[in-house]
Structure 1
Amino acid sequence: MSKLKSTLGIVAIAFITLTAMSCKDNNKEQNSTDENHSEMNHDNSDGHHDDDKKEMAMSGNGNSQAILNDYFNLKDALVADDNARAKELGATLATSLGNLDVSSNFSDTQKANLKDIIEDAVEHAEHISESDIDHQREHFKILSKDVTDMVAITGTEKTLYQQFCPMYDGGSAWLSTSKDVMNPYYGSRMLNCGKVQKEIN
Protein backbone atom coordinates (compact mmCIF):
# COMPACT_ATOMS: atom_id res chain seq x y z
CA MET A 1 0.00 0.00 0.00
CA SER A 2 2.80 2.41 0.85
CA LYS A 3 4.40 1.63 -2.53
CA LEU A 4 1.15 2.51 -4.26
CA LYS A 5 0.92 5.81 -2.36
CA SER A 6 4.48 6.78 -3.18
CA THR A 7 3.95 5.83 -6.85
CA LEU A 8 0.82 7.97 -7.02
CA GLY A 9 2.70 10.82 -5.34
CA ILE A 10 5.49 10.60 -7.93
CA VAL A 11 2.96 10.53 -10.78
CA ALA A 12 1.19 13.61 -9.37
CA ILE A 13 4.47 15.53 -9.01
CA ALA A 14 5.50 14.53 -12.54
CA PHE A 15 2.16 15.72 -13.93
CA ILE A 16 2.42 19.12 -12.21
CA THR A 17 6.01 19.53 -13.40
CA LEU A 18 5.12 18.60 -16.98
CA THR A 19 2.18 21.03 -16.98
CA ALA A 20 4.35 23.89 -15.78
CA MET A 21 7.11 23.00 -18.25
CA SER A 22 4.70 22.73 -21.14
CA CYS A 23 3.53 26.26 -20.40
CA LYS A 24 7.13 27.46 -20.68
CA ASP A 25 7.80 25.35 -23.80
CA ASN A 26 4.68 26.68 -25.47
CA ASN A 27 5.86 30.20 -24.69
CA LYS A 28 9.07 29.50 -26.62
CA GLU A 29 7.18 27.99 -29.54
CA GLN A 30 4.80 30.92 -29.47
CA ASN A 31 7.67 33.31 -30.28
CA SER A 32 7.70 32.06 -33.85
CA THR A 33 3.93 32.36 -34.28
CA ASP A 34 3.30 35.66 -32.49
CA GLU A 35 2.74 37.40 -35.80
CA ASN A 36 -0.24 35.17 -36.51
CA HIS A 37 -1.91 36.18 -33.26
CA SER A 38 -1.04 39.86 -33.18
CA GLU A 39 -3.57 40.79 -35.86
CA MET A 40 -6.89 40.20 -34.15
CA ASN A 41 -9.56 40.99 -36.71
CA HIS A 42 -13.18 40.77 -35.63
CA ASP A 43 -15.21 38.27 -37.58
CA ASN A 44 -18.64 36.73 -37.30
CA SER A 45 -17.53 33.10 -37.25
CA ASP A 46 -18.78 32.56 -33.71
CA GLY A 47 -22.36 32.75 -34.97
CA HIS A 48 -23.45 35.48 -32.57
CA HIS A 49 -24.19 38.07 -35.26
CA ASP A 50 -27.54 37.12 -36.70
CA ASP A 51 -29.14 39.51 -39.19
CA ASP A 52 -32.51 39.17 -37.47
CA LYS A 53 -31.12 40.28 -34.10
CA LYS A 54 -32.42 43.72 -33.21
CA GLU A 55 -29.88 46.53 -33.32
CA MET A 56 -28.58 47.66 -29.95
CA ALA A 57 -29.62 51.06 -28.71
CA MET A 58 -26.56 53.22 -28.08
CA SER A 59 -27.38 55.82 -25.47
CA GLY A 60 -24.28 57.82 -26.34
CA ASN A 61 -23.16 58.78 -22.84
CA GLY A 62 -20.17 56.51 -22.44
CA ASN A 63 -16.66 56.15 -23.78
CA SER A 64 -14.16 53.41 -24.52
CA GLN A 65 -12.00 54.26 -21.50
CA ALA A 66 -14.90 53.47 -19.14
CA ILE A 67 -15.29 50.13 -20.91
CA LEU A 68 -11.57 49.39 -20.53
CA ASN A 69 -11.65 50.23 -16.82
CA ASP A 70 -14.57 47.83 -16.29
CA TYR A 71 -12.85 45.18 -18.42
CA PHE A 72 -9.64 45.39 -16.35
CA ASN A 73 -11.61 45.15 -13.11
CA LEU A 74 -13.30 42.02 -14.47
CA LYS A 75 -9.95 40.58 -15.50
CA ASP A 76 -8.59 41.17 -11.99
CA ALA A 77 -11.60 39.37 -10.46
CA LEU A 78 -10.90 36.33 -12.65
CA VAL A 79 -7.20 36.47 -11.75
CA ALA A 80 -8.30 36.37 -8.10
CA ASP A 81 -10.69 33.42 -8.75
CA ASP A 82 -13.54 35.63 -7.46
CA ASN A 83 -16.69 34.32 -9.12
CA ALA A 84 -19.12 36.61 -7.26
CA ARG A 85 -17.13 39.77 -8.02
CA ALA A 86 -16.76 38.73 -11.67
CA LYS A 87 -20.56 38.36 -11.89
CA GLU A 88 -21.05 41.93 -10.61
CA LEU A 89 -18.39 43.29 -12.94
CA GLY A 90 -19.80 41.41 -15.93
CA ALA A 91 -23.09 43.25 -15.39
CA THR A 92 -21.26 46.57 -14.97
CA LEU A 93 -19.27 46.00 -18.16
CA ALA A 94 -22.42 45.08 -20.12
CA THR A 95 -23.88 48.46 -19.12
CA SER A 96 -20.77 50.48 -20.02
CA LEU A 97 -20.51 48.66 -23.36
CA GLY A 98 -24.13 49.52 -24.15
CA ASN A 99 -23.42 53.17 -23.35
CA LEU A 100 -20.56 53.55 -25.83
CA ASP A 101 -20.97 56.71 -27.91
CA VAL A 102 -20.43 55.82 -31.57
CA SER A 103 -22.10 58.95 -32.93
CA SER A 104 -18.99 60.95 -33.77
CA ASN A 105 -15.32 60.78 -34.72
CA PHE A 106 -15.78 57.48 -36.58
CA SER A 107 -16.34 56.65 -40.23
CA ASP A 108 -19.55 54.85 -41.23
CA THR A 109 -17.60 51.60 -41.56
CA GLN A 110 -16.05 52.04 -38.11
CA LYS A 111 -19.47 52.79 -36.61
CA ALA A 112 -20.92 49.64 -38.16
CA ASN A 113 -17.98 47.55 -36.96
CA LEU A 114 -18.18 49.03 -33.46
CA LYS A 115 -21.90 48.28 -33.18
CA ASP A 116 -21.23 44.70 -34.24
CA ILE A 117 -18.33 44.31 -31.79
CA ILE A 118 -20.27 45.89 -28.91
CA GLU A 119 -23.34 43.74 -29.52
CA ASP A 120 -21.21 40.60 -29.25
CA ALA A 121 -19.28 41.91 -26.23
CA VAL A 122 -22.49 42.77 -24.33
CA GLU A 123 -23.73 39.22 -24.85
CA HIS A 124 -20.54 37.75 -23.38
CA ALA A 125 -20.46 40.23 -20.49
CA GLU A 126 -24.06 39.29 -19.65
CA HIS A 127 -23.16 35.59 -19.69
CA ILE A 128 -20.28 36.34 -17.31
CA SER A 129 -22.74 38.09 -14.97
CA GLU A 130 -24.70 34.86 -14.48
CA SER A 131 -22.17 32.01 -14.79
CA ASP A 132 -19.81 29.87 -12.73
CA ILE A 133 -16.14 30.82 -12.99
CA ASP A 134 -15.15 28.23 -15.60
CA HIS A 135 -17.93 29.44 -17.89
CA GLN A 136 -16.99 33.06 -17.13
CA ARG A 137 -13.48 32.36 -18.38
CA GLU A 138 -14.79 30.84 -21.61
CA HIS A 139 -16.78 34.01 -22.31
CA PHE A 140 -13.91 36.24 -21.19
CA LYS A 141 -11.77 34.81 -24.01
CA ILE A 142 -14.21 36.04 -26.69
CA LEU A 143 -14.92 39.23 -24.75
CA SER A 144 -11.18 39.98 -24.75
CA LYS A 145 -11.11 39.65 -28.53
CA ASP A 146 -14.07 42.03 -28.80
CA VAL A 147 -12.42 44.60 -26.52
CA THR A 148 -9.15 44.31 -28.47
CA ASP A 149 -11.06 44.90 -31.72
CA MET A 150 -12.80 47.90 -30.13
CA VAL A 151 -9.45 49.40 -29.10
CA ALA A 152 -8.17 48.99 -32.68
CA ILE A 153 -10.92 51.45 -33.69
CA THR A 154 -11.27 53.73 -30.66
CA GLY A 155 -7.63 53.85 -29.57
CA THR A 156 -6.49 53.93 -25.96
CA GLU A 157 -5.43 56.70 -23.57
CA LYS A 158 -2.76 54.55 -21.94
CA THR A 159 -0.37 51.86 -23.13
CA LEU A 160 -1.93 48.38 -23.06
CA TYR A 161 -0.27 44.98 -23.29
CA GLN A 162 -1.79 42.12 -25.22
CA GLN A 163 -0.85 38.96 -23.33
CA PHE A 164 -1.19 35.35 -24.40
CA CYS A 165 -1.57 32.03 -22.60
CA PRO A 166 -0.70 29.05 -24.85
CA MET A 167 -2.30 26.55 -22.46
CA TYR A 168 -5.92 27.74 -22.19
CA ASP A 169 -8.33 26.54 -24.89
CA GLY A 170 -5.68 26.17 -27.60
CA GLY A 171 -4.21 29.59 -26.81
CA SER A 172 -6.01 32.65 -25.46
CA ALA A 173 -5.21 36.37 -25.32
CA TRP A 174 -6.27 39.19 -23.01
CA LEU A 175 -5.40 42.84 -22.40
CA SER A 176 -3.56 44.28 -19.42
CA THR A 177 -2.27 47.66 -18.28
CA SER A 178 0.88 46.00 -16.93
CA LYS A 179 3.67 43.97 -18.51
CA ASP A 180 3.43 41.56 -15.56
CA VAL A 181 1.52 38.45 -16.56
CA MET A 182 -1.44 37.67 -14.26
CA ASN A 183 -3.45 34.95 -15.97
CA PRO A 184 -7.26 35.41 -15.83
CA TYR A 185 -7.91 32.00 -17.39
CA TYR A 186 -6.17 29.95 -14.70
CA GLY A 187 -6.01 32.32 -11.74
CA SER A 188 -4.13 30.80 -8.82
CA ARG A 189 -3.65 27.47 -10.64
CA MET A 190 -1.13 28.96 -13.13
CA LEU A 191 -1.04 32.64 -12.28
CA ASN A 192 1.99 33.62 -14.35
CA CYS A 193 1.48 31.33 -17.36
CA GLY A 194 1.72 33.48 -20.47
CA LYS A 195 3.72 36.24 -22.10
CA VAL A 196 3.36 39.72 -23.55
CA GLN A 197 2.53 39.45 -27.25
CA LYS A 198 2.51 43.11 -28.15
CA GLU A 199 2.23 46.64 -26.88
CA ILE A 200 -0.78 48.73 -27.91
CA ASN A 201 -0.44 52.52 -27.80
Structure 2
Amino acid sequence: MKRIHRNLFFIAFSAGIISFTSCKENKETSTETSDKEMKVSHDEIMDNETPMEMSGAEFNDEKVATNYQSYLDLKNALVASDAEAAQVAAKKLSENGEDDIIEAATKISHTLDIETQRKAFSELTHNMEPVLENAIASAAIYKQFCPMAFEGKGDYWFASSKDINNPYFGDKMLHCGRVEKIIQ
Protein backbone atom coordinates (compact mmCIF):
# COMPACT_ATOMS: atom_id res chain seq x y z
CA MET A 1 0.00 0.00 0.00
CA LYS A 2 2.84 2.39 0.85
CA ARG A 3 4.39 1.58 -2.50
CA ILE A 4 1.21 2.60 -4.36
CA HIS A 5 0.99 5.88 -2.44
CA ARG A 6 4.67 6.59 -3.10
CA ASN A 7 4.23 5.88 -6.83
CA LEU A 8 1.12 8.08 -7.03
CA PHE A 9 2.95 10.86 -5.22
CA PHE A 10 5.91 10.56 -7.58
CA ILE A 11 3.66 10.68 -10.67
CA ALA A 12 1.74 13.70 -9.36
CA PHE A 13 4.95 15.46 -8.38
CA SER A 14 6.51 14.78 -11.80
CA ALA A 15 3.43 16.06 -13.62
CA GLY A 16 3.49 19.23 -11.51
CA ILE A 17 7.16 19.85 -12.29
CA ILE A 18 6.63 19.32 -16.02
CA SER A 19 3.62 21.62 -16.02
CA PHE A 20 5.46 24.30 -14.06
CA THR A 21 8.60 24.24 -16.21
CA SER A 22 6.87 24.09 -19.60
CA CYS A 23 6.61 27.87 -19.68
CA LYS A 24 9.10 28.87 -17.02
CA GLU A 25 10.78 32.16 -17.80
CA ASN A 26 14.50 32.14 -18.38
CA LYS A 27 15.13 34.55 -15.53
CA GLU A 28 16.81 33.68 -12.29
CA THR A 29 15.10 35.20 -9.29
CA SER A 30 16.05 35.24 -5.66
CA THR A 31 13.89 33.25 -3.27
CA GLU A 32 13.64 36.43 -1.23
CA THR A 33 12.08 38.41 -4.08
CA SER A 34 8.56 39.54 -3.34
CA ASP A 35 5.66 39.04 -5.76
CA LYS A 36 5.59 42.76 -6.39
CA GLU A 37 9.28 42.80 -7.36
CA MET A 38 8.85 39.78 -9.66
CA LYS A 39 6.15 41.45 -11.76
CA VAL A 40 7.51 43.17 -14.82
CA SER A 41 6.13 46.66 -15.18
CA HIS A 42 4.49 47.96 -18.34
CA ASP A 43 7.38 50.42 -18.84
CA GLU A 44 9.99 47.64 -18.53
CA ILE A 45 8.20 45.59 -21.16
CA MET A 46 7.85 48.51 -23.52
CA ASP A 47 11.32 49.96 -22.92
CA ASN A 48 13.63 47.06 -22.11
CA GLU A 49 12.14 43.66 -22.79
CA THR A 50 10.30 44.26 -26.04
CA PRO A 51 11.12 47.32 -28.04
CA MET A 52 8.21 48.19 -30.28
CA GLU A 53 8.31 45.38 -32.78
CA MET A 54 8.44 46.51 -36.36
CA SER A 55 7.73 44.37 -39.34
CA GLY A 56 10.92 43.36 -41.11
CA ALA A 57 8.90 41.56 -43.75
CA GLU A 58 7.99 42.99 -47.10
CA PHE A 59 4.63 42.28 -48.66
CA ASN A 60 3.21 42.19 -52.18
CA ASP A 61 0.34 44.36 -51.01
CA GLU A 62 0.74 47.66 -49.12
CA LYS A 63 -2.59 47.16 -47.32
CA VAL A 64 -1.35 43.85 -45.90
CA ALA A 65 1.89 45.54 -44.80
CA THR A 66 -0.08 48.26 -42.99
CA ASN A 67 -2.39 45.71 -41.37
CA TYR A 68 0.50 43.54 -40.25
CA GLN A 69 2.17 46.53 -38.59
CA SER A 70 -1.13 47.32 -36.82
CA TYR A 71 -1.31 43.64 -35.78
CA LEU A 72 2.20 43.94 -34.29
CA ASP A 73 1.22 47.14 -32.47
CA LEU A 74 -1.77 45.29 -31.04
CA LYS A 75 0.37 42.32 -30.05
CA ASN A 76 2.85 44.63 -28.31
CA ALA A 77 0.01 46.28 -26.39
CA LEU A 78 -1.23 42.88 -25.23
CA VAL A 79 2.30 41.85 -24.24
CA ALA A 80 2.39 45.00 -22.11
CA SER A 81 -1.15 44.28 -20.82
CA ASP A 82 -2.13 47.77 -22.02
CA ALA A 83 -5.84 47.55 -22.89
CA GLU A 84 -6.05 51.16 -24.06
CA ALA A 85 -3.15 50.80 -26.51
CA ALA A 86 -4.71 47.53 -27.69
CA GLN A 87 -7.94 49.41 -28.41
CA VAL A 88 -6.10 52.02 -30.48
CA ALA A 89 -4.19 49.45 -32.54
CA ALA A 90 -7.33 47.35 -33.05
CA LYS A 91 -9.25 50.40 -34.23
CA LYS A 92 -6.61 51.05 -36.91
CA LEU A 93 -6.81 47.42 -37.97
CA SER A 94 -10.61 47.46 -38.07
CA GLU A 95 -10.52 50.46 -40.42
CA ASN A 96 -8.23 48.81 -42.98
CA GLY A 97 -8.67 45.07 -42.67
CA GLU A 98 -10.67 42.47 -44.51
CA ASP A 99 -14.06 41.25 -43.21
CA ASP A 100 -12.88 38.54 -40.78
CA ILE A 101 -10.03 40.75 -39.60
CA ILE A 102 -12.35 43.73 -39.14
CA GLU A 103 -14.76 41.65 -37.04
CA ALA A 104 -12.08 40.41 -34.61
CA ALA A 105 -10.36 43.82 -34.43
CA THR A 106 -13.68 45.52 -33.72
CA LYS A 107 -14.28 43.21 -30.76
CA ILE A 108 -10.93 44.31 -29.32
CA SER A 109 -11.54 47.99 -29.99
CA HIS A 110 -14.88 47.90 -28.11
CA THR A 111 -13.57 46.64 -24.76
CA LEU A 112 -11.02 47.52 -22.12
CA ASP A 113 -11.13 44.02 -20.63
CA ILE A 114 -7.68 42.61 -21.42
CA GLU A 115 -8.83 38.97 -21.27
CA THR A 116 -11.65 39.65 -23.75
CA GLN A 117 -9.12 41.41 -25.97
CA ARG A 118 -6.79 38.42 -25.80
CA LYS A 119 -9.58 36.01 -26.80
CA ALA A 120 -10.45 38.19 -29.79
CA PHE A 121 -6.74 38.45 -30.63
CA SER A 122 -6.69 34.67 -30.94
CA GLU A 123 -9.49 34.90 -33.51
CA LEU A 124 -7.69 37.74 -35.26
CA THR A 125 -4.49 35.72 -35.49
CA HIS A 126 -6.36 32.81 -37.03
CA ASN A 127 -7.90 35.15 -39.62
CA MET A 128 -4.58 36.85 -40.42
CA GLU A 129 -2.70 33.68 -41.30
CA PRO A 130 -4.01 33.09 -44.85
CA VAL A 131 -3.63 36.80 -45.63
CA LEU A 132 0.01 36.81 -44.47
CA GLU A 133 0.96 33.54 -46.15
CA ASN A 134 -0.22 34.73 -49.54
CA ALA A 135 1.26 38.22 -49.40
CA ILE A 136 4.81 37.98 -48.04
CA ALA A 137 7.48 38.97 -50.56
CA SER A 138 10.66 38.77 -48.48
CA ALA A 139 12.00 38.17 -44.97
CA ALA A 140 10.08 36.05 -42.47
CA ILE A 141 7.21 36.04 -40.03
CA TYR A 142 7.38 33.72 -37.04
CA LYS A 143 4.24 31.85 -36.03
CA GLN A 144 4.64 31.32 -32.29
CA PHE A 145 2.74 29.12 -29.87
CA CYS A 146 2.09 29.14 -26.13
CA PRO A 147 0.92 25.76 -24.82
CA MET A 148 -0.42 27.34 -21.60
CA ALA A 149 -2.78 29.89 -23.21
CA PHE A 150 -6.49 29.54 -22.61
CA GLU A 151 -6.34 27.02 -19.78
CA GLY A 152 -3.81 24.75 -21.44
CA LYS A 153 -5.48 24.60 -24.86
CA GLY A 154 -2.66 26.70 -26.31
CA ASP A 155 -2.74 29.37 -28.98
CA TYR A 156 -0.73 31.13 -31.67
CA TRP A 157 0.42 34.61 -32.63
CA PHE A 158 2.74 36.15 -35.21
CA ALA A 159 5.99 37.99 -34.64
CA SER A 160 8.77 39.50 -36.71
CA SER A 161 11.54 37.90 -34.66
CA LYS A 162 12.24 34.57 -33.03
CA ASP A 163 12.11 36.22 -29.60
CA ILE A 164 9.09 35.12 -27.58
CA ASN A 165 6.99 37.88 -26.05
CA ASN A 166 3.67 36.35 -25.12
CA PRO A 167 0.54 38.44 -25.78
CA TYR A 168 -1.71 35.97 -23.95
CA PHE A 169 -0.01 36.30 -20.57
CA GLY A 170 1.98 39.54 -20.77
CA ASP A 171 4.21 40.00 -17.72
CA LYS A 172 2.85 36.86 -16.02
CA MET A 173 4.68 34.55 -18.45
CA LEU A 174 6.39 36.92 -20.84
CA HIS A 175 8.64 34.38 -22.56
CA CYS A 176 6.29 31.39 -22.55
CA GLY A 177 6.15 29.89 -26.02
CA ARG A 178 8.07 28.62 -28.99
CA VAL A 179 8.37 29.18 -32.72
CA GLU A 180 6.08 26.72 -34.51
CA LYS A 181 6.45 27.83 -38.11
CA ILE A 182 8.38 30.33 -40.22
CA ILE A 183 6.40 31.97 -42.99
CA GLN A 184 8.58 33.13 -45.88
Bucket of the pairwise TM-score, normalised by the shorter protein? 0.5 to 0.7
Identity across matched positions, percent: 35
CA offsets 1:14-36 (integer angstroms, 9 cap, x no match): xx977532436xxxxxxxxxxxx
Q: Does 1:186 align with 2:164?
A: no
- Please state how far the C-alpha of 1:63 moved relative to its aligned partner: 1.5
The match for 1:96 is 96
The RMSD of aligned alpha carbons is 2.0
Match of 1:168 among 127, 130, 149: 149
The match for 2:80 is 80
Aligned residues: 130
Q: Does 1:121 align with 2:111?
A: no
1:19/1:187 Cα in 2 relative to 1: closer, same or farther (>3 Å)?
A: farther
The 5 A counterparts of 1:125-144 are 125-131=105-111, 132-144=113-125
Q: Secondary structure at the match of 1:90?
A: helix
Report the residue type matching 1:198 in the other structure. K
1:62/1:81 Cα in 2 relative to 1: closer, same or farther (>3 Å)?
A: same
Contact 1:65 1:156 in 2 (8 A): no
Contact 1:62 1:96 in 2 (8 A): no
The match for 1:147 is 128
Distance in 2 between residues matched to 1:133 and 1:156, nearest whole Å: 33
Distance in 2 between residues matched to 1:157 and 1:174, nearest whole Å: 19
Distance in 1 between residues matched to 2:71 and 2:120, nearest whole Å: 12
CA offsets 1:39-72 (integer angstroms, 9 cap, x no match): xxxxxxxxxxxxxxxxxxxxxx951101101000
Give the unaligned 5+ runs of structure 2: 1-15, 25-60
Q: Secondary structure at the match of 1:180?
A: coil
- Please state how far the C-alpha of 1:148 moved relative to its aligned partner: 1.2
Contact 2:23 2:175 in 1 (8 A): no
Q: Does 1:70 align with 2:70?
A: yes
Q: Secondary structure at the match of 1:89?
A: helix
- Please state how far the C-alpha of 1:181 moved relative to its aligned partner: 0.2
Distance in 2 between residues matched to 1:91 and 1:23, nearest whole Å: 31
Give the unaligned 5+ runs of structure 1: 1-15, 25-60, 98-117
- Please state how far the C-alpha of 1:95 moved relative to its aligned partner: 1.0
Q: Does 1:196 align with 2:179?
A: yes
**Normalising to structure 1: TM-score of the pair?**
0.60
Distance in 2 between residues matched to 1:159 and 1:62, nearest whole Å: 16
Contact 1:65 1:157 in 2 (8 A): no
CA offsets 1:148-184 (integer angstroms, 9 cap, x no match): 1211222254311010000112010000001000000
The 5 A counterparts of 1:40-59 are none
